[in-house]
Structures are given as structure tokens and as C-alpha cells.
């Protein structure tokens, strides 16, 4: 079979024509999802620049037209995949934080564990969001910084407030954690991401102990 | 970074000297073009024009925009590193060394926003070839922070990932401010960044004392 026909045949096996039991909407959402998954895998494997529309549709098993019906082009696919991954990470982290019955330290630790667990579970998404986004396009870099800001805000919500600490403390802590994880992704050791938990917890919690100790003393006095 | 243009016409300067001067001008021009137009928007003719170097002389120096870019990146990182490490060495002890090194870093980046943009933000857009360089550049500051760092009084030394996390956290904050177009104001962050860097090793009280005495 010539490669094109082979690809088409594969596309057909991956994406069966809508059967009566699958609603049109379900199929559409599913195809969109597959396109986003495909760009995540491909950029993780070969980088954003090297990834072409043809690669994406082939990997996703959809028609080129389907991609363009859903997205303006490669950048929009990338940004949508990026957003979906960050939303999912945030959702899991918030959910795990909410389950914690202990104090702020346990909450931060649970959030961090949840984040590292996501990285371990989804190495391609982690690589796309934390490495390739920085080199993809200007909009992707900005999106990356917006995502960092979401983590910064989430940290702020969960740690005790201390006037004496630098105003940028949460930003530098989140940036520091991101850098350690970045290197682990580059070493292709994401399956070990959860091993970082004890060290990164201590790194993130340490600056806030002063405020927490003082608060505990006031409460005890 | 200002590199002076040479006089036109007959000037009796050696060929090597002219080539070296052109090279430096091209590297500086590339950083400025990236700052203004981003990586994708920068072309060889733009860089040549800005440097006052013909396109054919550009190609005598560099095979392509990418090669010129990597040379500019290395050159920029090397200048920043040399300046920061020299400043660190001037400190009387570990803590003042770190503090003066950070001050030198922020001053340099604030004075040369195009270099800050090149090294911290726009440079990464050149793709995978830069990842190793960026990582090496950051990691090269780690031993400077780790070696000679005291353990906080009465406490255990910070966990091993701390040194790298501190360096990465600072780089992340700087990149965010540069991306927001605030490179010129980086100097204002010295007390905050220094406290972030020194506290894991000295405790917050001692870190604040040293910073306030500067």
C-alpha cells in the first residue's frame, strides 16, 4: 500500500465513521482531543518547529480539514493543548488540596505531590508545557508565564501571610520548583518526579515557618 | 553593548582587527534586533544593517542567523557570568559574595535589556539547540552558591536541591520581569532576591541583617 493510502487506512481504523450510537458531538469532541494529544506527543518528541500540520493529522488520525475546522492552525492547536493540560493539572491540585484535613503545610505538600504525580503520569504533557512552550512562540511563552502565575496565586492562597517576606517569594519558589522539574524532564526521568517531593516540600515550606511559628506562639500565649 | 564602528575607507587597520570588530558589532546588533523583533522577526539583513556590515561580510563571519545567534548567546552568557563571578569574588565572605554577585547581575541586566532578553527569554525561542546552553549557564552559578555556604545556626543544611532551586527561581523571576518589559527596573529586586537566596543557608534574620547593612 502506498504510504498515503496506508495513512488513510490507519486514520480510518483509529477514527471509524460516526456510528449511530456515537453522537456527532461526542465524535467532534473526541477528534479535537486527539488533535491536541497528537501535538503534545509530537512536540515532546521532536520540538514545536519540527512538528508540521501533516504530522499532527497523521498522528491524530483525522482529516486535515477536521483540524482546520477546529483550529486556525498549528499555534492554536498548541495553545489549546497547553491550556487543557494546565487546567487539568490545576484541577487535580485543587482537588487534592481540598481533601487535606490538616494545616497549610499538609495542603502545600498535597498540592506539590499532586503536581509531581501529574508530571510522572503525563511525561509528554509535562515536556510540552514546561520546556517546549518556552521555545514555541511568543504567545506560548506568555501562556507559560500565565500558568506560572496561576501556581503563584494558588501558593499564596495556601501559605500563611508574612509581611516580612519578600513580595515575590511565591514567584521565586514556584520558579525554583519548576526549574528542578524542568531538569528532570530533560533528563527523561519524569517517572521519578515524585521522589522530589521531600526536598521540594522543604524548599517551599521553609520561608513560611517564621510566620507560622509566630502565629502559633500568639495563639498559645 | 556599544561597539564602535570603524572609519570608512583606508584606515591601516589589520584585517583580523576589522573582522573581530565586525563580529562584535554583529553580535550586539543581533541582540538588539531580537529585543525589538523577536527571534522569528529577525533577519540577516536587519542584523547586518544595524551593525553596518554588508550581507556578504555577515556570511564570512557566520553561516546563518542561527549560527550568529548561538555565538551571540554564548558571548552574552560569558560576559554576564564573568562579571557576576568577578563581583562574587570581591566579597569578604560567602554571604557578601553572593550579595555583590546578585547586585552585579541585576545591574548588568538592567543596563542592557537587550542582553537580558536574549539570555532569559528570546534566546529560548531559537529552539532545542539553546536548551543545553541555557541549562549550563544557569547551572554554572550553582557551585558558587553551594560552595562555602554555611548551615543555618542550630539547623540542618538545606536539602541538596535547594541550590539549584534558588538559582532557577531567581532566573524565573528575572525572565518574567524581562518579558513584562521591566528589565530596566530589575535593580529594585535586589533585597528580595538576596533574601530568597541567603535565607535557606543563613535563616531569615541573619539574611535580612546582612542585606540591610549593604
Chain A residue with CA closest to B180: the answer is A142
Residues of A in contact with B159 (CB under 8 A): 198-199, 202-203
- Distance between CA B60 and CA A97 in Å, rounded? 59
Structure confidence at residue A5 (pLDDT): 55
Contacts for B150 with CB less than 8 Å, ≥ 6 apart: B94, B201, B202
Taking alpha carbons only, the member of B123, B10, B12 closest to residue B74 is B123
**A203, B200: Cβ pair inside 8 Å?**
yes
**B192, A175: Cβ pair inside 8 Å?**
no
Is A175 part of the contact surface with chain B (CB cutoff 8 Å)? Answer: yes
**Out of B131, B172, B192, whose CB is closest to A166?**
B192
Residues of B in contact with A200 (CB under 8 A): 161, 165
Say if B10 falls within a structural domain. Answer: no
Contact yes or no for A188/B182 (Cβ under 8 A): no
Q: What are the grid coordinates assigned to B59, written together? A: 556570511
C-alpha torsion B158→B164→B165→B169, nearest 10: 140
* CA max distance for chain A: 82
The pLDDT profile of chain B, 214 residues, written as one tens digit per residue, is: 566 676 766 677 777 888 888 999 999 999 899 888 888 889 999 999 999 999 999 999 999 998 999 999 999 999 999 999 999 887 789 999 999 999 999 999 999 998 898 899 888 887 777 888 899 999 999 988 888 888 766 667 788 899 999 999 999 999 999 999 999 999 999 999 999 999 988 888 889 999 998 8
Question: Which CATH number goes with the domain that contains B69?
Answer: 1.10.357
Domain with CATH 1.10.357.10 in chain A: 75-209
Q: Which domain holds residue B128?
A: 65-212
Q: Which residues of B137-176 are buried (b: 16+ CB within 10 A; e: fewer)?
A: bbeebeebbbeebeebeeeeebbebbbbbbbbbbbbbbbb
To the nearest whole angstrom, how far is the Cα of B61 from the nearest Cα of chain A? 26
**A135, B171: Cβ pair inside 8 Å?**
no
The H-or-E segment that residue B15 falls in is: helix B15-37
**B38, A138: Cβ pair inside 8 Å?**
yes
Instruction: Indicate which of B37, B65, B135, B165 best probes the interface with A, i.e. most A CBs within 10 Å of its own CB.
Output: B165
Say if B107 falls within a structural domain. Answer: yes
Residues of B in contact with A147 (CB under 8 A): none
**A179, B172: Cβ pair inside 8 Å?**
yes
Q: How many whole angstroms from its chain centre is CA B168?
A: 14
Return mean pLDDT, chain A.
88
Contact yes or no for A61/A14 (Cβ under 8 A): yes
- Distance between CA A125 and CA A95 in Å, rounded? 20
**Out of B159, B160, B169, whose CB is closest to A179?**
B169
Give A142-176 pLDDT, tens digit per residue.
Answer: 999 999 999 999 999 999 988 899 999 999 999 99
Chain A residue with CA closest to B197: the answer is A172
- Distance between CA A185 and CA A194 in Å, rounded? 12
Is A103 part of the contact surface with chain B (CB cutoff 8 Å)? Answer: no
Q: Residue B180: how many CB atoms within 10 A of its CB? A: 11
Structure confidence at residue B154 (pLDDT): 65
- Distance between CA B168 and CA B196 in Å, rounded? 12
Contact yes or no for B5/B52 (Cβ under 8 A): yes
Say if B6 falls within a structural domain. Answer: no
Residue that has been written with the C-alpha cell 554577585 in this structure? B101
Number of domains in chain B: 1
Phi, psi angles (nearest 5°) of residue B55: -60, -40
CA distances for B128 relative to A23, A43, A103, A221, B175, angstroms: 42, 11, 42, 57, 18
**A169, B192: Cβ pair inside 8 Å?**
yes
Taking alpha carbons only, the member of A36, A48, A191, A39 closest to residue A131 is A48
CA distances for A39 relative to A36, A185, B141, angstroms: 5, 18, 34
- Distance between CA B59 and CA A20 in Å, rounded? 62
Tally C-beta pairs within 8 A across A and B: 116
Say if B13 falls within a structural domain. Answer: no
- Start-end of H helices in chain A: 3-14, 24-46, 53-60, 64-70, 74-99, 104-121, 123-127, 133-136, 138-158, 169-186, 197-205, 209-220
To the nearest whole angstrom, how far is the Cα of B111 from the nearest Cα of chain A? 22
**Out of A47, A199, A202, whose CB is closest to B127?**
A47
Contact yes or no for A59/A41 (Cβ under 8 A): yes
Residues of A in contact with B161 (CB under 8 A): 180, 196, 199-200, 203
Q: pTM of the prediction?
A: 0.86
Which burial class, exposed, middle or buried, applies to B44 when counting CB atoms under 10 A from its CB (0-12, 13-18, 19+)? middle
Choose which CATH entry (1.10.357.10, 3.40.50.880, 1.10.3720.10, 3.40.309.10) describes domain A75-209. 1.10.357.10
Contact yes or no for A71/A118 (Cβ under 8 A): no
The pLDDT profile of chain A, 221 residues, written as one tens digit per residue, is: 555 555 555 554 555 555 567 788 888 889 999 999 999 999 999 999 999 999 999 999 999 999 999 999 999 999 999 999 999 999 999 999 999 998 999 999 999 999 999 999 999 999 999 999 998 988 999 999 999 999 999 999 999 988 899 999 999 999 999 999 999 999 999 999 999 999 999 999 989 986 666 566 656 64
Amino acid at each position: 500500500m502506498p504510504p498515503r493510502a496506508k495513512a488513510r487506512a490507519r486514520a480510518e481504523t483509529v477514527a471509524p465513521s460516526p456510528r449511530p450510537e456515537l453522537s456527532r458531538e461526542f465524535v467532534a469532541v473526541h477528534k479535537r482531543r486527539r488533535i491536541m494529544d497528537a501535538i503534545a506527543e509530537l512536540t515532546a518528541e521532536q520540538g514545536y518547529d519540527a512538528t508540521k500540520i501533516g504530522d499532527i493529522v497523521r498522528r491524530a488520525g483525522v482529516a486535515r480539514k477536521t483540524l482546520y475546522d477546529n483550529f486556525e492552525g498549528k499555534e492554536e492547536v498548541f495553545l489549546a493543548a497547553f491550556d487543557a493540560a494546565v487546567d487539568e493539572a490545576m484541577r487535580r491540585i485543587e482537588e487534592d488540596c481540598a481533601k487535606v484535613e490538616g494545616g497549610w503545610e499538609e495542603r502545600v505538600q498535597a498540592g506539590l505531590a499532586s503536581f509531581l504525580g501529574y508530571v510522572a503520569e503525563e511525561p509528554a504533557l509535562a515536556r510540552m508545557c514546561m520546556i517546549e512552550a518556552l521555545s514555541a512562540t511568543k504567545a506560548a511563552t506568555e501562556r507559560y508565564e500565565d500558568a506560572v502565575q496561576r501556581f503563584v496565586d494558588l501558593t499564596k492562597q495556601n501559605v500563611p501571610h508574612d509581611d516580612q517576606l519578600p513580595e515575590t517569594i511565591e514567584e521565586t519558589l514556584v520558579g525554583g520548583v519548576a526549574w528542578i522539574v524542568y531538569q528532570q524532564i530533560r533528563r527523561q526521568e519524569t517517572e521519578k518526579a515524585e521522589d522530589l517531593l521531600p526536598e521540594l516540600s522543604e524548599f517551599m515550606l521553609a520561608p513560611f515557618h517564621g510566620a507560622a511559628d509566630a502565629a502559633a506562639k500568639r495563639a498559645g500565649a | 553593548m556599544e561597539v564602535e564602528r570603524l572609519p570608512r575607507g583606508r584606515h591601516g587597520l589589520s584585517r583580523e582587527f576589522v573582522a573581530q570588530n565586525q563580529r562584535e558589532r554583529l553580535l550586539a546588533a543581533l541582540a538588539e534586533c531580537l529585543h525589538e523583533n523577536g527571534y522569528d522577526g529577525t533577519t540577516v539583513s536587519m542584523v547586518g544593517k544595524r551593525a553596518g556590515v554588508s550581507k556578504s561580510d555577515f556570511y564570512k563571519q557566520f553561516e546563518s542567523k542561527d549560527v550568529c545567534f548561538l555565538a551571540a548567546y554564548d558571548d552574552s552568557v560569558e560576559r554576564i557570568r564573568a562579571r557576576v563571578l568577578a563581583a562574587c569574588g570581591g566579597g569578604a565572605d560567602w554571604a557578601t559574595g553572593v550579595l555583590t554577585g546578585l547586585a552585579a547581575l541585576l545591574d548588568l541586566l538592567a543596563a542592557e535589556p537587550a542582553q537580558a532578553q536574549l539570555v532569559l527569554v528570546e534566546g529560548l525561542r531559537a529552539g532545542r539547540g539553546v536548551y543545553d546552553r541555557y541549562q549550563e549557564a544557569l547551572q554554572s552559578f550553582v557551585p558558587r552558591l553551594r560552595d562555602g555556604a554555611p548551615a543555618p545556626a542550630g539547623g540542618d543544611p538545606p536539602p541538596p536541591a535547594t541550590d539549584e532551586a534558588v538559582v532557577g527561581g531567581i532566573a524565573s523571576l528575572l525572565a518574567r520581569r524581562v518579558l513584562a518589559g521591566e528589565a530596566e527596573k530589575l535593580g529594585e529586586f535586589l533585597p528580595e532576591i538576596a533574601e530568597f537566596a541567603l535565607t535557606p543557608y543563613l535563616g531569615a534574620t541573619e539574611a535580612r541583617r546582612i542585606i540591610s547593612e549593604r
